[in-house]
Amino acid sequence: MNIESNKAAFSKEPREENLVTMLWDIQRRNGWISKADVRSLAAILNVSPLDIDETLSFYHFFRSKPSGRHQIYLCDSVIARMNGYDQVRAALERETNCCFGGLSADGLFGLEDTPCIGLSDQEPAMMIGDVVFTGLTPEAVSNIVAQLRAGKLPADIANPNGYDSGTLDYVDAMVVSRIRNQGPVFFKPMRDHHAVLQGVLARHPIEIIDEIAASKLRGRGGAGFPTGLKWRLAHEAEGGQKFIICNADEGEPGTFKDRCLLTRSPRDVLIGMVVAGFAVGARSGILYLRAEYWYLKDYLERHIGECREAGLLGDDILGSGFAFDIRIQMGAGAYICGDETALIESCEGKRGTPRVKPPYPIQSGYLGMPTVVNNVETFAIVSRIVEEGGRWYASMGTEKSSGTRLLSVSGDCARPGIYEIEWGMRLDEVLGMVGASRPMAVQVSGPSGECVSAAKDGGRVFCYSDLSCNGSLMIFDESRDLLGIIRHFMSFFVQESCGICTPCRSGCVDMLTKVDRVIGGKATKQDLEDCNAWGHLMRSTSRCGLGTTAAKPILTTMKSFPELYRDRLAVVDGPILASFDLEKALKGHEDAFRNLVKDNY
Amino acid sequence: MTAKLYIDGREICASEGDVLIDVAADYGIHIPSLCYMRGRPCLGTCRVCSVVVNGSIMPACTARIADGMVVEVAQPEVADMRRALVEANFSEGNHNCPSCEKSGRCELQAVAYEVEMVVSRFPYRFAERERDQTARHIFLERDRCIFCQRCVEFIRDIDTGHKIFAIHGRGTHARIDIDVVLADRMPPEQVREAADICPVGCIIEKGRGYNDPIGKRKFETRSIRDRVLEGDKK
């Protein structure tokens, strides 16, 4: 790849905020991004090559060394590990003749691990380019690899009927959307989006904001900020342009509800974005789609295109004079981009580092303009609120947590999948509903959330003041090694910390070291005191939500499962220091003694 | 607009929107920091200036003055957090003060004395970090980098504004990099500036070092506290 061909490919107003897209274009053409590519991009964008490398090296899926012809990313999540990950991993290494982290000698295969890819109800799963394979077994792996060796493309294997990549059939051929119940809000068939939008455009933006405020809807990304208030502030903010961003970077391990919404109800989400644009006075929307969901891209593009044709998007929406359009921005593998300011940085072609706040995105977001960032689920709900009214929505759920929300349920239960629940439901009710017969622990909101005890916490309630679930619900029964799971979560945070601030960059590693001491039976009470104090330090001083929550796998299990730690504490009956390993210290003594004896006789 | 606020119980008047760490310094209250430089955009990376503002902990470099604000700097718990954050930087890299040519003019070292750090409570990592000595005038001693980003943001190529320093990778695998072509174009005064704003001994000016005798070094002649409080640009 040389400057000329890259220049030709990126001739249209090359701007820095397209950098992530440009890097993807090169990688999808060549399999990787070479030093020469970096230099040519630097020349095109008029920045230094280091500046390009900063972005390139930040994202997990960008490769700065040659790839295998088929670059395989196997999902390594705790749920995958409960469902045969180890056997599938071994089968992949055997069949491809390749080790994880490397390439096969023939250059045909490359193997890598990757954190949760949003398929926790059908693990083990892997990605080969844009294509995903779910419910893997060692046999399935041999079969897939044999077909790849025979020259078949991954898409042809996963989609044997050859459906067009813009169709629902194509998505369905790869991934199952297990929607387990029909609630009042989501996945309504045959909705008339045209009429919904017409109703919205006939009203004043302030009325729409009032409607959303009346619904008491709180953002579904996890933090639970009141959506109506966010929109009102953005409406009042001054700026030449305003932007609406849909956060579809569904990276929290264990969650997959946004994937199902984008698959089954993409129009609800798109229309919700238009409504937000109308309410705050924005003309542009960005749907930030995680790279793991690339198989949804053409499908979503098709829906956006159809909305344009139907006049639901574009320069003059339904003849109202209101203009709004949506583009898709692909992520490139970084959990941190779920943070709204990191996501904005990523949209601007930069490293996904969370910004210093204030200013907040509603004041200065994308390109320094007032920006509303909401979750996929929030937009889907908005499209229903403007249809049925804010009071209708507020009548469901509890006083402070209105409406319903989607749960992505995975792990040890009979019926994993997507459930719509009203806020206010008890944990034991949910466990019963999903068929969890012997639950021990429930990880609410993924690693960044809380690990609760099914025995002790069954009466706790899903609502913002108690179990404020972000959509991820992983169930572990009594057979599971909870400390191993905690370790997996902590190493996830070590990998995903962006490293911009001291407490998170340093603290995640220190906390992982502590878990290892507990698992190794070397921890003393002081180690547990340290966990508590250091976790508090991370929570109090980190820059963004990743750092403030990263110690929670340890902190919350110390609370709900204290015996887990107590049973492993080092018993100080020998040496005074728990770290002193007598066996290790005496290793070699016997040999030395024997040699001495031999020498003397 | 003038705002009234309280720092450790003391009533203070300042302009609304001003940066807390600056206002505190103007009133003789030193809040240590490793990344913040007065008059320059806040980087918010080291978190060492964490204080309690209206009951929540936040860095004083990002906090803006508002009327009625109640700030606690000396409160023991948050003071210990500041010390812990300094200690964390010592454990992460390899900081061997006695042999470091930045000793005596190193902000990390000076701030460590200021927060009365004795030894790090976190396990020392003894990380292996490769040095980069390819630039003509700059020696990059990565053992000492604390990822403050001062050089990344504030030292740019004079003609083009391009980045000369940048962070490669992320998290615990991050690494400070230098663009040798641009670095070799830096005039001597800019090389000196880069070495000076580096709060540790990571960016070292080649051919210069150990110039001041012990006892006459920067923070020995005047402490970092006095320098910050007297508005010295460091």
Query: In whole angstroms, what is the distance from residue A261 CA to residue A405 CA?
Result: 12
Task: Pick the closest to residue B148 from B126, B176, B120 (CA basis).
Answer: B176
Reported ipTM: the value is 0.96
Pick the residue of A505, A508, A515, A546 with the most B CBs within 10 A to test the interface with B by mutation.
Answer: A505
Strand, coil or helix: what is B50?
A: strand
Q: Would you say residue B8 lies in a domain? A: yes
Within A520-551, residue ranges assigned H as helices are 525-541, 545-549
Hey, what amino acid is at A287? L
Q: Would you say residue B112 lies in a domain? A: yes
Domain that holds residue A491: 483-566
Burial level of A480, CB count in 10 A (0-12/13-18/19+)? middle
Instruction: Please indicate, yes or no, whether residues B141 and B119 belong to a single structural domain of this protein.
Output: yes
Query: In whole angstroms, what is the distance from residue A551 CA to residue A269 CA?
Result: 33
Whether residue B146 lies within 8 A of chain A, CB to CB, comes out as yes
Query: In whole angstroms, what is the distance from residue A275 CA to residue A250 CA?
Result: 22
For residue A580, name the pLDDT band (cuts at 50, 70, 90). Answer: confident
Task: Pick the closest to residue A528 from A495, A564, A503 (CA basis).
Answer: A564
Is B85 in contact with B108 (CB distance < 8 Å)?
A: no
pLDDT in tens, B179-191: 999 999 999 999 9
Q: Is the pLDDT of residue A572 over 80?
A: no
Instruction: Please indicate, yes or no, whether residues A247 and A380 belong to a single structural domain of this protein.
Output: yes
Instruction: Please indicate, yes or no, whether residues B98 and B201 belong to a single structural domain of this protein.
Output: yes
Instruction: Please indicate, yes or no, whether residues B117 and B184 belong to a single structural domain of this protein.
Output: yes
Say whether the peptide bond before residue A358 is cis (omega within 30 degrees of 0). yes
Section A456-473 average pLDDT? 95
Name chain A contacts of B18, Cβ cutoff 8 Å. none
For residue A571, name the pLDDT band (cuts at 50, 70, 90). Answer: confident
**CA-based Rg of chain A, rounded to a whole angstrom?**
26
Among B74, B99, B128, which residue terminates a domain?
B74
Instruction: Please indicate, yes or no, whether residues B117 and B7 belong to a single structural domain of this protein.
Output: no
Say whether the peptide bond before residue A359 is cis (omega within 30 degrees of 0). yes
Instruction: Please indicate, yes or no, whether residues B45 and B90 belong to a single structural domain of this protein.
Output: no
Whether residue B132 lies within 8 A of chain A, CB to CB, comes out as no
Instruction: Please indicate, yes or no, whether residues A250 and A141 belong to a single structural domain of this protein.
Output: no
The region of weakest confidence among A499-508, B7-16, B204-213 is: B204-213
Question: Which residues, other chains included, contact A427 with Cβ-Cβ below 8 Å and sequence gap of 6+?
Answer: A442, A444, A452, A454, A457, A458, A459, A460, A461, A462, A467
CATH of residue A308's domain is 3.40.50.11540
pLDDT score, position A596: 79
Query: In whole angstroms, what is the distance from residue A55 CA to residue B122 CA?
Result: 30
Instruction: Please indicate, yes or no, whether residues B155 and B89 belong to a single structural domain of this protein.
Output: yes
Q: Would you say residue A259 lies in a domain? A: yes
Strand, coil or helix: what is A195?
A: helix
pLDDT score, position A424: 96
Q: What is the C-alpha end-to-end distance of chain A, expressed in Å?
A: 73
DSSP state of A406: E
Instruction: Please indicate, yes or no, whether residues A223 and A277 belong to a single structural domain of this protein.
Output: yes
CATH of residue A415's domain is 3.10.20.600
Name chain B contacts of A50, Cβ cutoff 8 Å. 163-166, 177-179
Instruction: Please indicate, yes or no, whether residues A227 and A323 belong to a single structural domain of this protein.
Output: yes
pTM of the model: 0.94
Strand, coil or helix: what is A260?
A: helix
Section B81-90 average pLDDT? 98
Q: What are the tokens at B203?
A: 């960016």
Average pLDDT value over all residues in chain B: 96
pLDDT in tens, A173-183: 999 999 999 99
Q: How far off is chain B from A229, nearest CA to CA, in Å? A: 21
Strand, coil or helix: what is A289?
A: strand
CATH of residue B148's domain is 3.30.70.20
Is A344 in contact with A338 (CB distance < 8 Å)?
A: no
Whether residue B169 lies within 8 A of chain A, CB to CB, comes out as yes
Q: Would you say residue A181 lies in a domain? A: no
Q: What are the tokens at B213?
A: 């005798």
Query: In whole angstroms, what is the distance from residue A150 CA to residue A129 CA?
Result: 18
Query: In whole angstroms, what is the distance from residue A448 CA to residue A549 CA?
Result: 5
Instruction: Please indicate, yes or no, whether residues A26 and A52 belong to a single structural domain of this protein.
Output: yes
Q: Would you say residue B26 lies in a domain? A: yes
Q: What are the tokens at A522?
A: 């070397």
Distance (Å) of CA A205 to CA A192, A275, A282, A579: 21, 9, 11, 65
Query: In whole angstroms, what is the distance from residue A217 CA to residue A393 CA?
Result: 8
Is A454 in contact with A215 (CB distance < 8 Å)?
A: no
Q: Identify the sign of the CA torsion A542, A546, A548, A553.
A: negative
Distance (Å) of CA A262 to CA A247, A268, A273, A577: 12, 9, 13, 55
Q: Is the pLDDT of residue A601 over 60?
A: no
CATH of residue A526's domain is 1.20.1440.230
Hey, what amino acid is at A547? G
Whether residue B65 lies within 8 A of chain A, CB to CB, comes out as no
Q: Is the pLDDT of residue B46 over 90?
A: yes
Instruction: Please indicate, yes or no, whether residues B60 and B118 belong to a single structural domain of this protein.
Output: no
Number of structural domains found in chain B? 2
Q: Would you say residue A575 lies in a domain? A: no
Is A535 in contact with A548 (CB distance < 8 Å)?
A: no
Q: Where are the beta strands (DSSP E) in A172-266?
A: 243-248
pLDDT score, position A1: 46
For residue A239, name the pLDDT band (cuts at 50, 70, 90). Answer: confident
Instruction: Please indicate, yes or no, whether residues B142 and B211 belong to a single structural domain of this protein.
Output: yes
Nearest CB to B163 within list A51, A503, A509: A51
Taking residue B130's Cβ as centre, other Cβ atoms within 10 Å add up to 8
Hey, what amino acid is at A485? I
Among B74, B106, B124, which residue terminates a domain?
B74
Query: In whole angstroms, what is the distance from residue A109 CA to residue A149 CA?
Result: 10
pLDDT score, position B189: 97
Strand, coil or helix: what is A575?
A: coil
> Is B172 close to A505, i.e. CB distance below 8 A?
yes
Q: Would you say residue B232 lies in a domain? A: no
Q: Would you say residue B234 lies in a domain? A: no
Is A248 in contact with A287 (CB distance < 8 Å)?
A: yes
Region for residue A589 given its phi and psi (left: phi exceeds 0; alpha: psi -120 to 50; beta: otherwise): alpha
Query: In whole angstroms, what is the distance from residue B180 CA to residue B133 CA?
Result: 9
Q: Which residue has the tokens 């044997």?
A: A160
Section B43-56 average pLDDT? 98
Q: At A328, phi and psi to the nearest 5?
A: -100, 130
Instruction: Please indicate, yes or no, whether residues A350 and A425 belong to a single structural domain of this protein.
Output: no
Instruction: Please indicate, yes or no, whether residues B120 and B222 belong to a single structural domain of this protein.
Output: yes
Rounded to the nearest angstrom, the gap between the alpha carbon of residue A452 and the centroid of all alpha carbons in its chain is 21
Q: Is the pLDDT of residue A16 over 80?
A: no
Domain that holds residue B35: 2-74
Among B74, B101, B118, which residue terminates a domain?
B74
Taking residue A573's Cβ as centre, other Cβ atoms within 10 Å add up to 5
Instruction: Please indicate, yes or no, whether residues A208 and A266 belong to a single structural domain of this protein.
Output: yes
Is A327 in contact with B33 (CB distance < 8 Å)?
A: no
Instruction: Please indicate, yes or no, whether residues B53 and B154 belong to a single structural domain of this protein.
Output: no
Q: Would you say residue A595 lies in a domain? A: no
Instruction: Please indicate, yes or no, whether residues A242 and A333 belong to a single structural domain of this protein.
Output: yes
Nearest CB to A506 within list B57, B122, B166: B122
Q: Would you say residue A64 lies in a domain? A: no
Instruction: Please indicate, yes or no, whether residues A270 and A359 belong to a single structural domain of this protein.
Output: yes
Instruction: Please indicate, yes or no, whether residues B39 and B130 belong to a single structural domain of this protein.
Output: no
> Is A541 close to B59, i.e. CB distance below 8 A?
yes
Average pLDDT value over all residues in chain A: 94
Strand, coil or helix: what is A408?
A: strand
Within A150-226, residue ranges assigned H as helices are 154-158, 168-174, 193-201, 205-215
Number of structural domains found in chain A? 5
Query: In whole angstroms, what is the distance from residue A119 CA to residue A416 CA?
Result: 11
Section A475-501 average pLDDT? 97
Task: Pick the closest to residue A395 from A217, A138, A180 (CA basis).
Answer: A217
Per-residue three-class SS string for A102-131: CECCCCCEEEEEECCCCCHHHCCCEEECCE
Pick the residue of A540, A541, A543, A546 with the most B CBs within 10 A to test the interface with B by mutation.
Answer: A541
Q: Would you say residue A592 lies in a domain? A: no
Instruction: Please indicate, yes or no, whether residues A201 and A263 belong to a single structural domain of this protein.
Output: yes
Q: Where are the beta strands (DSSP E) in A459-521?
A: 472-477
Q: How far off is chain A from B51, nearest CA to CA, in Å? A: 9
Q: Is the pLDDT of residue A440 over 50?
A: yes
Instruction: Please indicate, yes or no, whether residues A360 and A235 belong to a single structural domain of this protein.
Output: yes
Nearest chain A Cα to B53, which residue?
A: A540
pLDDT in tens, A267-316: 999 999 999 999 999 999 999 999 999 999 999 999 999 999 999 999 99
Q: Would you say residue A401 lies in a domain? A: no
Q: Would you say residue A182 lies in a domain? A: no
Instruction: Please indicate, yes or no, whether residues A378 and A420 belong to a single structural domain of this protein.
Output: no
> Is A496 close to B171, i.e. CB distance below 8 A?
yes
For residue A10, name the pLDDT band (cuts at 50, 70, 90). Answer: low
Instruction: Please indicate, yes or no, whether residues B62 and B96 belong to a single structural domain of this protein.
Output: no
Burial level of A178, CB count in 10 A (0-12/13-18/19+)? middle
Query: In whole angstroms, what is the distance from residue A125 CA to residue A123 CA?
Result: 5
For residue A8, name the pLDDT band (cuts at 50, 70, 90). Answer: low
Q: What are the tokens at B109?
A: 């070292």
Q: Is the pLDDT of residue A98 over 70?
A: yes
> Is A54 close to B172, i.e. CB distance below 8 A?
no
pLDDT in tens, A62-91: 999 999 999 999 999 999 999 999 999 999
Give the pairing of strands A325-330 and A284-289.
Answer: parallel
Task: Using alpha carbons only, give the angle A452, A457, A459 rounded to the nearest 5 degrees.
Answer: 140
* Chain A residues bordering chain B (beta-carbon distance below 8 Å): 46-51, 53-54, 57-58, 334, 351, 356-358, 494-503, 505-510, 513, 530, 534, 537, 540-543
Name chain A contacts of B182, Cβ cutoff 8 Å. 48
pLDDT score, position A600: 62
